[in-house]
Amino acid sequence: MTFKDYGSSLSNERTEFIKRIAEITTCDPTTVSRWISGEFKPSRRRRAIIAEEMGIPEETLFPETTKA
């Protein structure tokens, strides 16, 4: 499950999830919301922090996209 899919699947826990990710990555919650929406992608360092926190491989959370 990608980070976008995971974040989008949350209902009641979404706000707390965003706050926690913002806290551990030292980012604004608005930035985290943009990561979830797919508008932006976190830096490599922040992707590693998120992956460790969630216990999901970085490659799964943030797959490389190729443009055709």
pLDDT digit string, tens, across residues 29-46: 999 999 999 899 999 999
Task: Please report where in the chains the tokens 């508008």 appear, as a residue.
Answer: 39
Reported pTM:
0.89
Q: Fill in the amino acid letter for 59.
A: E
Q: What angle do CA 66, 35, 26 make, to 5 degrees?
A: 130
List the domain boundaries for the chain.
Answer: 3-61
Report the pLDDT value the prediction gives residue 67, as an integer from 0 to 100: 55
Contact 1, 55 (CB under 8 A): no
Say whether domain 3-61 belongs to CATH 1.10.260.40.
yes
pLDDT tens, position by position, for the chain (68 residues)? 899 999 989 989 999 999 999 999 999 999 999 999 989 999 999 999 999 999 999 999 999 875 55
How is residue 7 annotated by DSSP? H
How many angstroms separate the Cα of 46 from the Cα of each of 2, 63, 67, 68? 15, 14, 23, 27
